[in-house]
Chains A and B, each alone.
Chain A
């Protein structure tokens, strides 16, 4: 048995969890999380054929389909060889999986949705109002990011990484910078490390605030949405004032950060944290006290903890279903080892649990922002870049879950780069969570997962 297949066996046995799987000409790569550490394995396949790991470990399925699309490889024994990311790649039309039975009807939704939403297609099979199955079809926003990354200059590649998913721009830019710094042996200065964490927590805060409001809005509770949107806007305005960009794009760069934070900025953010803490507490109570809202969220869209563990689902999706994982803690990266925070975990796995995880994380994130502001070290904000060849990888906890980046550097050029969104292991679970629910609850379930389309489609 090759090292590749042995790794597959450990994944199937639950001894390791899958972080990512990707291909480049001549080799397939596997990143896994095992015994508290992030590991990497490359498998040479000069013929373009490699043994499918999805045969024994289903979470690898879509990643292997993507590897086939992007590199023309063949995953031998792949249970579902249809294309995934690239539409029209196959000679035959794309066929959805067959569903048979009496009284069933299909509903096709997307790629254009009724709102300001990213594009994707959902094929529902229903029995009356009850969803028997939903099959996702993604790839509509496939931008060929990894192809563009190969041969790109480091600053341009970093900007593109920051636009994998607009809501996670800091998380992606940080994961890219950490991987590049590992590859080159460049150490970012202490102040930059802390400013990066500050930006990452502000991004988490803004997104969680937006999500709590938007999920409640999908249960027709517009009041919460209106209030949360105000708080989110306050965070974005503070980000623009302190870091020059409402979403903080291009704020994290390889070697450090692009902009320093002034003493006035520190005061502004401290005031913001104080204000949000005061304003959000009554909103969290409001959520907890509104029976008509809880009636929609409790017991809806349950994701079983076994599936969350098997798929190594990150973020609030995993933590609401008993998976106690946070990349800031394990494998961990600076400065979080010097900061106090708890990682909330629930086991119910329903929409309510995914909201409660976010509500608790808002409190934790506010605490982190206050700690960082109080202890921000002085000094330079960017290190001189070391020109070397090398490989690096990083796992960063974005608001949605763990973002993974692997890259190979040659001087200041990116030879190859792979970016894996947390949604890769959350989208398949949405298909499982919706089963048996009424179709009218799909938007609610979908929003509680809030998976990325652009980030997933690359």
Chain B
């Protein structure tokens, strides 16, 4: 393990540098960080909630934490408790079985809070819009501040979406 750690210590960083103009993800995250500071005077905490997705959106939200995107260096982080959150990021069609859980999670978030609907399903039910088991997206249950398109949205799309939310509010 020591050898691996030493190698890592001296290896070139994979995290895409801030100044690289072709790195869309990083440019957006920096802009988001500045806007978040203006809004909240601190970093932005995100509570993710799967309300009936296929798990595709979750996989890409996980990817935001890998060494290439390294979300936390901008003060953006996923938190375990809704009571620590500023943003509720919801994926999925909102199944009938998850409706109450979604509402209770939202109620546990201190105000002001923003609701972000992630992916085609969360927007309007997507390919499952006709399902009698679904509410047809997050908008049917909660006021949505922003939709992030994609099936699933890529990590870059997710960062772009969070930026758009902050610009809309500022």
**Chain A residues within 8 Å of B, Cβ to Cβ:** 86-88, 111-112, 114-119, 139-145, 147-148, 156, 159-160, 163-167, 169, 210, 223, 226-227, 229-230, 232-233, 236, 240, 246-247, 249, 282, 286, 289-290, 452-455
Contact = CB atoms under 8 A, between A and B. Distances in A.
A217 to B, nearest CB: 11
B66 A246 contact: no
Contacts of A86: 97, 133
Given A143-B95, A246-B154, A116 B61 contact: yes
Interface of B: 1, 4-5, 8, 14, 48-63, 65-68, 78, 80-81, 92-93, 95-98, 101, 105, 127-128, 130-134, 151-152, 154
A165 B54 contact: yes
A236 B134 contact: no
A229 B54 contact: no
A140 B55 contact: no
A167 B53 CA distance: 12
Given A115-B80, A119-B98, A142-B133, A167 B65 contact: no
Contact of B152 (A226, A232, A247): A247
B78 A454 contact: no
Contact of A233 (B63, B105, B133, B152): B63
A249 B97 contact: no
A247 B59 CA distance: 9
B127 A163 contact: yes
A453 B66 contact: no
Nearest to A290: B1
Contacts of B14: 230
A169 B56 contact: yes
A140 B128 contact: no
- 8 A-B pairs with least C-beta separation: A166-B56, A114-B80, A144-B133, A229-B66, A166-B55, A87-B97, A163-B54, A166-B54
B61 A226 contact: no
A235 to B, nearest CB: 11
Nearest to A228: B66
A114 B130 CA distance: 30
